[in-house]
Amino acid sequence: MHMATQAAVAANDRPVMRIRDRAEFRSKPRPLTMRAETTVAEAVAEMSRRDYGSVVVTDAEERVQGIVTERDVMKKMVHEGRDAAATPLSEIMTAEPRVASADDDVLDWLRIMSNERFRRLPVVDSDGRVTAVFTQGDFVSYTWPDLMGQARELAKATVFRNWHFFLIGGGLMVYTIVMAIVLGTV
């Protein structure tokens, strides 16, 4: 279930940003957890009270069994006209969701989440107990500066690789400006 650890990812010759290295990891509030037999109505009430978008369904040892999101409630309850007070979370949860380790690489998980179309990622400790829930939005704050840095490096590489074209183009531009000045003053 876990992604490759930092040591394995480092073999790709790119910097590794582990989930635990993100500022959000330390500041995240405790995830909302409930048992599978909890009713959807109880879960929605607590999600609303805390302004959370999901609840992690856990066993008695806090090990992840599933996850229920606002989208699950909308599609599997509201759309189907089910009774939230009579429906346990186990009936609408995504069972055995993907989980990450705090040592996993942020970019690997962002790619997986994008490709597999899920937005919430429970992070578990070595015993499989949930410690945090990361969202795609948590990762975007890391990747945006990274993408800007990559764009800068690509631009530099393009200029240096094609410097002769820039030199010729710059020379033509200077010649054109000088000629415009000379001819404009005659």
Domain check: are 108 and 126 in the same one?
A: yes
Closest listed residue to residue 84, CA positions, set 95, 93, 73: 73
Q: What is the pLDDT of residue 143?
A: 59
Note the pLDDT tens digit of each residue in 41-71. 999 999 999 999 999 999 999 999 999 999 9
- Kindly indicate the confidence band of residue 37, based on its pLDDT and cuts at 50, 70 and 90: very high
169 assigned to some structural domain: yes
Query: Is the CB of residue 123 less than 8 Å from the CB of residue 131?
Result: yes
d(CA 121, CA 103): 14
Q: What is the pLDDT of residue 1?
A: 46
Note the pLDDT tens digit of each residue in 102-147. 999 888 898 899 899 899 999 999 999 999 999 887 777 665 566 6
d(CA 127, CA 132): 14
pTM to 2 decimal places: 0.69
pLDDT tops 60 at residue 77: yes
Q: Determine whether 29 is exposed, middle or buried from the number of CB atoms within 10 Å of its CB (0-12, 13-18, 19+).
A: exposed
Q: Which domain holds residue 26?
A: 6-141
Q: What is the CATH number of the domain that holds 114?
A: 3.10.580.10
